[in-house]
Chain A
Amino acid sequence: MKRYSGFSLFKNAFSYHENWEKVWRSPVPKKEYDVIVVGGGGHGLATAYYLAKEHGITNVAVIEKGYLGGGNTARNTTIIRSNYLWDEAAQLYELSLKLWEGLSKELNYNVMFSQRGVLNLGHNLQDMRDIERRVNANRLNGIDGEVVTPERIKEIAPLINISPNCRYPILGASWQPRGGTARHDAVAWGYARAADALGVDMIQQTEVIGIRRKDGAVVGVETSKGFIGARKVACVTAGSSGLVAGMAGLRLPVESRPLQALVSEPVKPCLDTVVMSNAVHGYVSQSDKGDLVIGAGVDSYNGYGQRGSFNIIEHTVQAICELFPAFSRIQMNRQWGGIVDTCPDACPIISKTSVDGLYFNCGWGTGGFKATPGSGFVFADTVANDRPHPLAAAFNIGRFNTGALIDEHGAAGVAH
């Protein structure tokens, strides 16, 4: 892998940038791999990268039915934060945030991680009690955060409406300065490039259609391009997780639903932070390109159509106009949906399964992007050592039968 640097940029300018090395190879699949990662999104690519880098397992393939980073990695609103209430979740997301902080340097790829801060607004007394509780819990876990007043919110985001006379007045917020956004595509590309350099094969346009087992253990995957052997299979397939689990005769407590996002026309810089609200139900930030990136709730019913219901969009823009009356004049450019796998407790499943050599990392629901590095890190460790990483142990699939759920619904300041 040729390193990217100011010098390489300068050098390539002489050949009109036509001779850059391919970012990753497109190899013919080998007959057998030590580990096959099913799903080439951010989490899958991060898993492959950390398998190679942290555990020296380089005979790895990432099998993707479409193209790398073309699913939810490309469809989310790129918000990164770690202000979760419960210890298990907070520690996992905080590990992720710490990895984000060094990621561009580590991958030699600019993921445009921007720690512009995240505000989670409170609009009633119960919101404020929850926010205070969550901020206190965060600080006990070593995560930055503070409770801020409406006046301070106005300083951070001057266009916001803090009038006490509006329908859902803003009473305060939690503020995590280390939170922010990143360039979603770059995360996938950066991990893919770094993993490829360590010897991981990226197999695109290849769909896994079956998981072959022998004596209760995985021996490989059937794909649209034939059988590929593997000692271990790690599934990171988000909205399709239920279908992939079904191929191995397993059931997962996940339901797949569309989560939508939309972006406006590009405008001059007007919002240099991330604003989220549970109560009016919307979140907004401004990308470096200038467009407002807006998201909100997940559809209330199961679906695999990557679009979502119109009424959700309607409620979303209502919420944004409530918070930022000035945005009511901005036109929306594009809207799309991604299929998220929601868990009953709004926490992921990072787990071994009852099939030897088969692992699942799924159930991230509506908030997986921020966890990309940490998810890959703990999952790679779980797969490499065939036991849960200490931070992943609580996220085993058995919790739905023991009852040890990690109830992050609402508690996390998640806006859905």
Chain B
Amino acid sequence: MLLIYCPHCLEYREEEEFSYGGEAHISRPVDPEKLTDEEWGDYLFFRKNPKGIHHEMWFHSSGCRRYFNVTRDTLTYEILETYEVGCTPKITGISS
């Protein structure tokens, strides 16, 4: 069971209060009509799947109902930081 620090509520809460939002820092293409099928497919379906540091979105669905970002190690499950959407992570690179 993860204990996740919500940067909006400023509290640690149990994993069950949250839902996972997938990879963070993906921006929607400004003009989708101009993309090739390859670029559009990449945007829709291709996600980073690292064994180690991963930046991901979480939604505090049973709490403040706001999104935020988490830097988590996908092997040890250690949460290294949580930060608001739009901010850049302090921790990057591959661990484990």
B38 touches A302 (CB 8 A): no
B49 touches A252 (CB 8 A): yes
Given contacts A311-B1, A400-B41, contact A242 B19 (CB under 8 A): no
Q: Which of A45-53, A253-261, A316-324, A365-373 contacts B (4 or more CB under 8 A)?
A: A253-261
The answer for the CA separation of A400 and B45 in the assembled complex, in Å, is 7
The answer for the CA separation of A255 and B22 in the assembled complex, in Å, is 10
Out of A243, A251, A403, which one reaches B46, CB within 8 Å? Answer: A251
A400 touches B46 (CB 8 A): yes
Q: With CB as the reference atom, state the residue of chain A lying closest to B76.
A: A305
Given contacts A242-B49, A243-B51, A251-B46, contact A300 B41 (CB under 8 A): no
Q: With CB as the reference atom, state the residue of chain B lying closest to A256.
A: B49
Given contacts A311-B16, A344-B45, contact A403 B37 (CB under 8 A): yes
Out of A302, A400, A403, which one reaches B49, CB within 8 Å? Answer: A302
- For residue B3, CB closer than 8 A to chain A, the reply is no
Contacts of B1 in A (CB 8 A): 309-311
A254 touches B19 (CB 8 A): no
The answer for the CA separation of A254 and B75 in the assembled complex, in Å, is 17
**Whole-angstrom distance between the Cβ of B13 and the nearest chain A Cβ:** 13
B49 touches A255 (CB 8 A): yes
- For residue A126, CB closer than 8 A to chain B, the reply is no
Contacts of A343-394 to chain B: CB distance below 8 A: 344
B41 touches A304 (CB 8 A): no
- For residue A5, CB closer than 8 A to chain B, the reply is no
Out of B2, B15, B41, B50, which one reaches A401, CB within 8 Å? Answer: B41
The answer for the CA separation of A46 and B62 in the assembled complex, in Å, is 45
The answer for the CA separation of A401 and B40 in the assembled complex, in Å, is 7
The answer for the CA separation of A221 and B38 in the assembled complex, in Å, is 28
Task: Give per-residue flags for B10-38: 1 if the beta carbon is below 8 A from chain A beta carbons, else 0.
Answer: 00000110011010000000000000011
Q: With CB as the reference atom, state the residue of chain B lying closest to A311.
A: B16
B56 touches A302 (CB 8 A): yes
- For residue A7, CB closer than 8 A to chain B, the reply is no
The answer for the CA separation of A243 and B54 in the assembled complex, in Å, is 14
**How many B residues face the partner with a CB closer than 8 A?**
25
Contacts of A303 in B (CB 8 A): 74-75, 77
Q: With CB as the reference atom, state the residue of chain B lying closest to A402.
A: B37
- For residue B8, CB closer than 8 A to chain A, the reply is no
- For residue B65, CB closer than 8 A to chain A, the reply is no
The answer for the CA separation of A158 and B54 in the assembled complex, in Å, is 47
The answer for the CA separation of A254 and B45 in the assembled complex, in Å, is 8
The answer for the CA separation of A310 and B14 in the assembled complex, in Å, is 11
The answer for the CA separation of A256 and B22 in the assembled complex, in Å, is 12
Out of B38, B51, B56, which one reaches A304, CB within 8 Å? Answer: B51
Contacts of A400 in B (CB 8 A): 41, 44-46
Q: With CB as the reference atom, state the residue of chain B lying closest to A253.
A: B45
The answer for the CA separation of A301 and B2 in the assembled complex, in Å, is 11
The answer for the CA separation of A101 and B41 in the assembled complex, in Å, is 38
Contacts of A252 in B (CB 8 A): 46, 49
Task: Give per-residue flags for A240-275: 1 if the beta carbon is below 8 A from chain B beta carbons, else 0.
Answer: 101100000001111110000000000000000000
Contacts of A253 in B (CB 8 A): 45-47
Q: With CB as the reference atom, state the residue of chain B lying closest to A307.
A: B77
The answer for the CA separation of A355 and B38 in the assembled complex, in Å, is 17
The answer for the CA separation of A242 and B75 in the assembled complex, in Å, is 14
**Whole-angstrom distance between the Cβ of B3 and the nearest chain A Cβ:** 12
**Whole-angstrom distance between the Cβ of A408 and the nearest chain B Cβ:** 15
Contacts of B2 in A (CB 8 A): 309
The answer for the CA separation of A243 and B51 in the assembled complex, in Å, is 8
Task: Give per-residue flags for B59-81: 1 if the beta carbon is below 8 A from chain A beta carbons, else 0.
Answer: 00000000000000011110000
A301 touches B56 (CB 8 A): yes
Out of B20, B40, B54, which one reaches A300, CB within 8 Å? Answer: B20
**Whole-angstrom distance between the Cβ of B11 and the nearest chain A Cβ:** 19
27 A/B residue pairs, CB under 8 Å, sorted by A: A243-B49, A251-B46, A252-B46, A253-B45, A255-B22, A255-B49, A256-B49, A256-B74, A301-B20, A301-B56, A302-B54, A302-B74, A303-B77, A305-B75, A305-B76, A309-B1, A310-B1, A311-B1, A311-B15, A311-B16, A400-B41, A400-B44, A401-B37, A401-B40, A401-B42, A402-B41, A403-B37
A binding-site residues for B, Cβ under 8 Å: 240, 242-243, 251-256, 300-305, 309-311, 344, 400-403
Q: Nearest 9 pairs between A and B by C-beta?
A: A401-B41, A242-B49, A253-B45, A301-B20, A400-B45, A300-B20, A304-B75, A304-B51, A344-B45
10 more CB-based (< 8 A) A-B contacts, given A300-B19, A305-B77? A242-B49, A253-B47, A254-B49, A256-B49, A302-B49, A302-B56, A310-B1, A400-B41, A401-B38, A403-B37
